[in-house]
Amino acid sequence: MTRSGSLGLRPATLLLACCLAWGVNQVAIKVSVSGVSPLLGAGLRSLVAVGLLWLWCRARGEGLVRRDGSGLYGLLIGLMFAGEFALIYWGLAYTTASRSVIFLYSAPFFVALGAHVWIPGERLTPGRTAGLLLAFVGLCLAFADGLRLPAGRELFGDALELLAGLLWGTTTVVLKKGRRVPITLPQTLFYQLAVSAGVLIGASVLLGEPGIFAPTPLVLAALAYQAAIVAFASYLVWFWLLGRYRASDLAPFLFWTPLFGVLAGWLLLGDPLSGHLGAAAVLVAFGIYLVNRP
């Protein structure tokens, strides 16, 4: 931490790079599901990332599986990670992408509330609460064009996405709280990826998904991006940041991810661009400033 206890330039830049990667990931998922079933694609992403993580750790001479008593903790965070993605994909079958983003990115609020209750030194103050609310208003403004009164199916999908946001926030707090568990950063990522790969691929088989039905070069490239850049590289950076800075300081930056996703969809897929995006970015930036100011 810096002397003021707030994020410095380097961690903030790394965090923004992660949010950019995750925003582009929304486009990559949209491309990959045109040729690979959603749950199978998510499982394959985790499986390939496990292989990359194993190669990276082997090159560093670092083991991933140890008898250090971290197995149950690893199983817990792996199941939470798998459940989060299952809820995200399941919810998108019932509600729109614009609505799902709003409810999924309730996660920073759950992180802030969980950290306030269970993590010493991460108490919510009026300024930090105002910053979170302001950033969320900016997010809602960016997706205002896609919001309307929901039908019954959409309400069910909204509820699933809200549960995914709750599980995402809870996982972040558990990871932060679990720093006392004898587990390394690569082990943390290994447990999440390995357990989620088995659960998601198994769920795909049980649900009778069609599997890989159009393995075009673009679809395979989208899957490779999800595995190498997102699930392997960016998650390692995220866990590194989470181990060194307050979770409640990091969480508001997550509001940048859907804004980057909108820009990536516009640049790469030709999706319509909301006229509110500039004002939304200003609100998100000022909200993050309020949370992280000295």
Query: What's the whole-number mean pLDDT along residues 71-79?
Result: 86
pLDDT of 146 reads 64
Q: Is pLDDT above 90 for 229? A: yes
Rounded CA gap, 186 and 103, in Å?
Answer: 30
Amino acid at 155: L
pLDDT, residue 47, reads: 95
Confidence (pLDDT) at 166:
92
Q: Binning pLDDT at 50, 70 and 90, where does residue 210 land? A: very high
Over range 29-51, report the average pLDDT.
91
Q: How confident is the model at residue 289 (pLDDT cuts 50, 70, 90)?
A: confident
Mean pLDDT of 202-228: 93
What's the pTM? 0.81
pLDDT score of 178: 64
In this model, does residue 68 exceed pLDDT 70?
no
Query: With 80 as the cut, is the pLDDT of residue 1 above it?
Result: no
**Cβ atoms within 10 A of the Cβ of 220, count?**
14
Identify the CA nearest to 135 among candidates 253, 225, 33, 56: 253
